[in-house]
Chains A and B, each alone.
Chain A
Amino acid sequence: MSNLGLIISLLIIGAGLLWLLIRSLQGKEVERRIIFLFIGLAVSVPLLFNITFSEKATPIVKALYDKIDNLPEGSNILLSFDYGPTMAPEVQPMSDVLIRHVLAKNHHLFLMGLWATGQSLGAEAVDRIIKGDFPEKIDGIDFVNIGYKAGNQGVLNVIVTDFRKLYATDVGGRDLDSLPIFNGIKSLKDMDLLISVGGGFPGVKEWVQFAGDPGNVPTGGGSAAVSAPLLYPYYPRQMLGLMGGIKGAAEYESEFKRHYERFKDMPEPGVKMMGPQTLAHLVIMAFIVIGNLSYFFGKKGKQS
């Protein structure tokens, strides 16, 4: 039903644009209200019909996805929440999909934060995602949240050699040694993958410089769009992969959904935001083309 509505709407938009194109080939200008109408449609149709343009993961995102997917079951993956509430709308979708992916592959998930706000964001993610989608996963066996320690990259300097020098317990106050998940885990070097999601200082860059490089552990991340360009130079040699901005999150979400039948109904805030963006963008560019056509053909028409 909703697919039918979607197809009809898209047909209307497409046919409308085509009609405008033909008109502009005859040198006629498009009225402003028609442009407004198209923008309104381009934004509301994807919202109403929940259009998810299946995003194709760019190599930099795919690299991160593949790494998590290809690691043998039961690998140790650490996810650091290096952001605060203001940045959350942009990067939270990344943490969400990463947590799902890691747990769906039955890896061990270690959560922490280099930002003080990261601890509660981590706890909130545990409540929302793990308790919701993975009720069978047990805190301390399949996943653990060790929380935040002050010291920025200084923390990394320490835990790259020994977790227990800084972390005695997890956020629940349980001794690390009493947690099965920490069996045989001494330092970051025992992790199979480090992921930092953030967008400021300290963030992905510090993880690469102070943990990934010295510990020789693959490191990946997710970052707000504004700071992503500063991280690209680290890819692919020092940084395995990166999700840049909401677009990166959307790509990852699509890639994940494509392979995991079970999660085809999971919320995908990244993809959802991209639908209207994509269509509106296309429509605006179509109008620029139409505008140029009507300019050139209009002129010719007058001359002849």
Chain B
Amino acid sequence: MKRQLPLSLVFIFGVFMIIQYFVPHESSEWIFEFLLDWIYIIGIFALALGIWSLIRVSWDKIKYRKDNWQYSLVTLLGLFAMIVFGFDYLRNFQTAEGLQNFMFVHFFDYIMIPIQATMFSLLAFFIASAAYRAFRARSILASLLLIAALIVMLRFNPYFGPISPYLEKTASWLLNVPNLAAKRAIVIGVGLGIVATALKVILGIERAYLGKD
């Protein structure tokens, strides 16, 4: 019950999904769409589980006065405020207009968007510090990494790029040819790895995700 049934469920649904791929008929498609729909709906329940986990971890922090517990208050405050706006407590709880709620939209525009964009823009700093630290001619491999990166960066630098047409040609050759070869080798490997792992999951060989009992 605790282990055999889940494993057989995995097998049945896995094999079904493989078979349905070869059957274009509507009835197979119909079940396929059902299954995908179900996964989304289950996902919503899981989200509730996630929110519950977030609340519990934050609450524990506050209750036991762990380090930085005060900030967990901010998290909970943001969370509850946004939920209240999302369900539009004043007027129409029952329609999706919560998502158009003035405060909901403004929290999104003036809290989520600025922070999100700023987090993303940190990449400009990190790409520089990573380049400084890693691009050193320590070994053959590191030198290859360094040289390829430098050629491409020079090519796209507005000043050095136009120096020589060969720089441009080399850079686009690098981006087109070896790049293609390496990506293809990785993709073939990854494809095989995914197929093999999926097969192991379906056959019940890889089962770490089910835990133990």
> A residues within 8 Å of B by Cβ?
30, 32, 35-36, 38-40, 43, 53, 55-56, 58, 229, 247, 250, 274, 277-278, 280-285, 287-288, 290-292, 295-296
Contacts and interface: CB of A to CB of B under 8 A. Distances in A.
A35 B132 contact: yes
A56 B154 CA distance: 16
Contacts of A39: 124-125, 128
Contacts of A38: 128
A43 B159 CA distance: 16
Which of A35, A40, A274 is packed against the most chain B CB atoms within 10 Å? A35
Given A285-B153, A291-B135, 18 more contacts: A32-B129, A35-B132, A36-B125, A39-B128, A43-B124, A56-B162, A250-B158, A277-B158, A278-B157, A281-B158, A283-B128, A284-B127, A284-B153, A285-B154, A288-B131, A290-B132, A292-B136, A295-B136
Contacts of B159: 53, 278, 282
B113 to A, nearest CB: 18
A292 B137 contact: yes
A30 B132 contact: yes
Contacts of B156: 281
B146 interface: yes
Contacts of A277: 158
Interface string B47-68: 0000000000000000000000
Contacts of A282: 157, 159
Nearest to A283: B128
Given A229-B172, A281-B153, A292-B135, A287 B158 contact: no
B128 A35 contact: yes
Interface residues of B, number: 25
B133 interface: yes
Contacts of B161: 247
B150 interface: yes
B212 interface: no
Contact of A284 (B131, B133, B162): B131
Contacts of A295: 136-138
A44 B153 CA distance: 21
B54 to A, nearest CB: 31
Contacts of B127: 284
Contacts of B157: 278, 281-282, 285
Interface string B110-142: 000000000000001101110111011110000
Contacts of B131: 284, 287-288, 291
**Dominant secondary structure at the B interface:** helix
A58 B162 contact: yes
Nearest to B135: A288
Which of B127, B138, B157 is packed against the most chain A CB atoms within 10 Å? B157
A88 B125 CA distance: 27
A247 B155 CA distance: 12
B132 A280 contact: no
A290 B131 CA distance: 11
Contacts of B125: 35-36, 39-40
Contacts of B150: 285, 288
Contacts of A229: 172, 176
B159 to A, nearest CB: 6
Contacts of A250: 158
26 contacts: A30-B132, A35-B128, A36-B129, A38-B128, A39-B124, A39-B128, A43-B124, A53-B158, A229-B172, A247-B161, A277-B158, A278-B157, A280-B128, A281-B153, A282-B157, A284-B131, A285-B150, A287-B132, A288-B131, A288-B150, A291-B131, A291-B132, A292-B135, A292-B136, A292-B146, A295-B137
A56 B160 CA distance: 11
Contacts of A280: 124, 128
Which of A56, A277, A284, A290 is packed against the most chain B CB atoms within 10 Å? A284
Interface string B166-185: 00000010001000000000
Contact of A291 (B133, B158, B172): B133
Contacts of A36: 125, 128-129
B132 A288 contact: yes
Given A56-B162, A278-B157, A282-B157, A287 B128 contact: yes
Contacts of B137: 292, 295-296
- The 10 A-B residue pairs whose C-beta atoms are closest, nearest first, are A287-B132, A295-B136, A291-B132, A278-B158, A281-B157, A36-B125, A35-B129, A284-B128, A58-B162, A39-B128
A43 B124 CA distance: 10
B145 to A, nearest CB: 11
Contacts of A55: 158
Contacts of B158: 53, 55, 247, 250, 274, 277-278, 281
